[in-house]
């Protein structure tokens, strides 16, 4: 990505250099330098989105969990951030239609079962506005697949937007102070469902279980060792304001 | 006589194999057939370098990416409008190379869309492909200047600034206008 910058600068320098041709005063040189610097910043901004985390344009580790209220869930209830009393909260962004979600949801279900009765709460969040990702479709999908966790629809897209959640599935883990301690993949082999219904673990059998390890660590009072991984999946589509 | 015949045979063979009709591997004959050509990342980098002189618009897509499918016709339309001005369009599929059903579907889609440009399939494990291409998700459109510099990387990485079809058009216009 950085490879874009030198050329952009060259283009800018040429244009600006022409403008100041034959004027060698200190002031002109200063203006020239400021111009080049400004161009560089603008050119980079045009090409590259700025990132807060390594792979997230909005939040970095340590960010507070955004408050949310009355998000409708597939079980007919609503969920607000203040209702989450557990010491660890895992928000996972999902989309019914997405083969990367379909390819990993059985692993997610097993993980939720693994932590059953422990002080952690899993909440699935759907953000897309396409019909097959909305609440009615979420109800059908979660019942069919057997989701054993709360699954809410973030229709305003505010929760997803505030967390910079742009892929499904993408995991965000918050500690008891509701600070972000992990974001990214479930484990180190993102998996998708193939057209024939089989699951493709893209990096072979998973060997590092990021979400499981982070939650177990937090429950044991430890710090999280891997805090950000590169989530892989379908793009979350936000309404552009 | 036999000698002359032999010589002309040699010449004809050399002409056929060396100069004219041979397609280098991995290229798609324009217009008459649409194929999905597997290409590894390293070969793709070389291929890209070989396009020097053109503005190159690369549409990163996959059959599993619904918004990619929805946006594809616009890309075909832009190809029709801008290819006479030295803008080369390429589609790069990030489908699972072992999902034969998806690959068949991808080929059918390209034919149905009349995607008469180079259509590649990234021949890497899919997560490796995303990492090597430095992409977080698709749809994404990469636009290279005539000197091969990456000038626009249009993605959905920022929830507040996800690209639209209009952004692709604007970016191409900007590059053309820079040329005066």
* Cα Rg of chain A, angstroms: 22
pLDDT value of position A13: 30
What SS3 state is found at A86?
Answer: coil
Q: Quick one: CA dihedral B8, B14, B19, B22, positive or negative?
A: positive
CB B80 within 8 A of CB B113: no
Report whether pLDDT(A209) > 60. yes
Report whether pLDDT(A47) > 90. no
pLDDT value of position A1: 33
Report d(CA B64, CA B60) in Å as an integer.
Answer: 12
**Residue B33 pLDDT class (50, 70, 90 cuts):** confident
% of chain A residues with pLDDT over 70: 80
Q: What is the pLDDT of residues A52-67, one digit of tens each?
A: 899 999 999 999 999 9
What SS3 state is found at A79?
Answer: strand
Report d(CA A138, CA A145) in Å as an integer.
Answer: 10
Q: What chain A residue is nearest to B144 in terms of C-alpha separation?
A: A4
> Which of B69, B157, B176 is best to mutate for the A interface (most A CBs within 10 A)?
B157
Extract the tokens encoding A191: 């998996």
List chain B domain ranges: 26-179
Report d(CA B87, CA B51) in Å as an integer.
Answer: 10
% of chain B residues with pLDDT over 70: 82
Minimum distance, in Å, between the CA of residue A21 and any CA atom of chain B: 20
pLDDT value of position A27: 53
pLDDT value of position B6: 44
Q: What chain B residue is nearest to A56 in terms of C-alpha separation?
A: B157
Partners of residue B88 on adjacent β-strands: B56
Mean pLDDT of B128-142: 97
CB B92 within 8 A of CB B58: yes
Report d(CA A189, CA A203) in Å as an integer.
Answer: 5
- Closest CA relative to residue B142, chosen from A48, A136, A126: A48
> Burial, A222: exposed, middle or buried (Cβ in 10 Å; 0-12, 13-18, 19+)?
exposed
**Residue B180 pLDDT class (50, 70, 90 cuts):** confident
- Show residues of chain A in contact with B99, CB under 8 Å: 194-196, 200
Nearest to A240 among B99, B152, B162 (CB): B162
Give the helix, strand, coil percentages of chain B, each rounded to 5: 45, 20, 35
How many CB atoms are located within 10 Å of the residue A38 CB?
12
Report d(CA B134, CA B163) in Å as an integer.
Answer: 17
Task: Give, for A217, the enclosing helix (H) or strand (E).
Answer: helix A210-219
Minimum distance, in Å, between the CA of residue A57 and any CA atom of chain B: 6
Q: What chain A residue is nearest to B167 in terms of C-alpha separation?
A: A46
- Closest CA relative to residue B148, chosen from A182, A25, A10: A10
What SS3 state is found at B147?
Answer: coil
CB interface of A with B, residues 128-187, below 8 Å: 130, 157, 160-161, 164-167
pLDDT value of position A18: 34
- Show residues of chain A in contact with B151, CB under 8 Å: 4, 7-8, 47
Q: What is the pLDDT of residues B80-99, one digit of tens each?
A: 999 999 999 999 999 999 99
Report whether pLDDT(A49) > 90. no
- Cβ separation of A166 and B160 shorter than 8 Å? no
CB A180 within 8 A of CB A173: yes
**Residue A5 pLDDT class (50, 70, 90 cuts):** very low
Mean pLDDT of A195-209: 97
pLDDT value of position B10: 40
CB interface of A with B, residues 71-100, below 8 Å: 97-100
- Show residues of chain A in contact with B145, CB under 8 Å: 7
Report whether pLDDT(A10) > 70. no
Q: What is the 3-state secondary structure (H, E, C) of A135-204?
A: HHHHHHHHHHHCCCCEEEECCCCHHHHHHCCCEECEEEEECCCCEEEEEECCCCCCEEECCCCCEEEECE
Q: What DSSP state is assigned to residue A92? A: E
Query: Is A47's Cβ below 8 Å from some Cβ in B?
Result: yes
Angle between the N-to-C axes of helices A135-145 and A105-114, in degrees from 0 to 180, rounded to the nearest 10: 70
Nearest to A232 among B64, B102, B127 (CB): B127
pLDDT value of position A29: 54
pLDDT value of position A51: 85
What CATH number is given for B26-179 in this structure?
3.40.30.10
CB interface of A with B, residues 210-229, below 8 Å: none
Query: Is A238's Cβ below 8 Å from some Cβ in B?
Result: yes
Nearest to B99 among A160, A166, A195 (CB): A195
Minimum distance, in Å, between the CA of residue A38 and any CA atom of chain B: 17
ipTM of the complex: 0.81
Per mean pLDDT, which range of A10-24, B28-42, B124-138 is the poorest? A10-24
- DSSP assignment of B70-136 equals HHHHHHHHHHHHHGGGTEEEEEEE-S-TT-HHHHHHHHHHHHHTT--SEEEEE-S-HHHHHHHTT-S
Query: Is B131's Cβ below 8 Å from some Cβ in A?
Result: yes
Report whether pLDDT(B1) > 90. no
Per mean pLDDT, which range of A46-50, A111-115, A229-233, B109-113 is the poorest? A46-50
**Residue A31 pLDDT class (50, 70, 90 cuts):** low
- Cβ separation of B162 and A58 shorter than 8 Å? no
Nearest to B160 among A161, A203, A236 (CB): A161
- Cβ separation of A234 and B137 shorter than 8 Å? yes
Minimum distance, in Å, between the CA of residue B161 and any CA atom of chain A: 7
Task: Establish how many alpha carbons lie within 13 A of residue A10's alpha carbon, considering only the half-sphere containing its beta carbon.
Answer: 9
% of chain A residues with pLDDT over 90: 78
Per mean pLDDT, which range of A40-49, A116-125, A213-222, B129-138 is the poorest? A40-49
pLDDT value of position A41: 55
pTM for the full predicted model: 0.82
- Report angle CA A123, A125, A131 to the nearest 5 degrees: 145
């Amino acid at each position: 990505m950085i490879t874009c910058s030198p050329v952009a600068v060259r283009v800018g320098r040429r244009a600006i250099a022409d403008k100041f041709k034959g004027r060698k005063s200190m002031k002109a040189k200063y203006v020239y330098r400021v111009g080049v610097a400004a161009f560089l910043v603008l050119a980079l901004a045009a090409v590259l989105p700025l990132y807060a985390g390594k792979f997230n344009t909005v939040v970095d580790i340590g960010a507070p969990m955004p408050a949310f209220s009355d998000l409708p869930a597939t079980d007919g209830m609503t969920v607000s951030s203040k209702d989450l009393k557990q010491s660890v909260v895992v928000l996972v962004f999902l989309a019914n239609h997405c083969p990367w979600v379909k390819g990993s949801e059985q692993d997610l279900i097993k993980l939720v079962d693994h932590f059953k009765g422990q002080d952690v709460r899993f909440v699935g969040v759907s953000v897309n506005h396409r019909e097959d990702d909305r609440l009615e479709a979420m109800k059908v999908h979660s019942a069919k697949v057997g989701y054993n966790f709360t699954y809410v629809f973030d229709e305003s897209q505010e929760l997803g937007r505030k967390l910079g959640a742009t892929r499904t599935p993408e995991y965000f883990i918050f500690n008891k102070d509701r600070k972000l301690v992990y974001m990214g993949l479930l484990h180190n082999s993102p998996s998708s469902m193939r057209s024939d219904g089989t699951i493709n673990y893209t990096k072979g059998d998973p060997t590092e279980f990021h979400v499981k390890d982070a939650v177990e660590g937090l429950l044991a009072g430890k710090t999280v060792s891997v805090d950000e991984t590169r989530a892989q999946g379908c793009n979350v589509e936000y309404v552009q304001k | 006589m036999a000698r002359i015949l032999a010589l002309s045979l040699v010449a004809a063979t050399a002409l056929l194999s060396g100069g004219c009709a041979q397609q280098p591997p991995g290229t798609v004959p324009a217009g008459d057939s649409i194929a999905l050509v597997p290409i590894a990342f390293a070969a793709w980098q070389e291929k890209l370098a070989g396009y020097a002189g053109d503005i190159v618009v690369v549409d990163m897509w996959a059959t599993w990416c619904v918004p990619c499918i929805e946006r594809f016709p616009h890309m075909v339309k832009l190809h029709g409008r801008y290819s006479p001005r030295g803008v080369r369009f390429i589609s790069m599929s990030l489908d699972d190379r072992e999902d034969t059903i998806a690959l068949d579907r991808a080929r059918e889609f390209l034919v149905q869309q009349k995607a008469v440009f180079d259509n590649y399939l990234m021949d890497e494990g899919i997560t490796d492909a995303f990492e090597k291409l430095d992409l977080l998700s698709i749809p994404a459109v990469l636009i290279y200047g005539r000197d091969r510099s990456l000038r626009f990387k249009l993605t959905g990485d920022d929830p507040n600034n996800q690209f639209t079809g209009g952004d692709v058009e604007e970016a191409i216009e900007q590059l053309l206008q820079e040329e005066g």
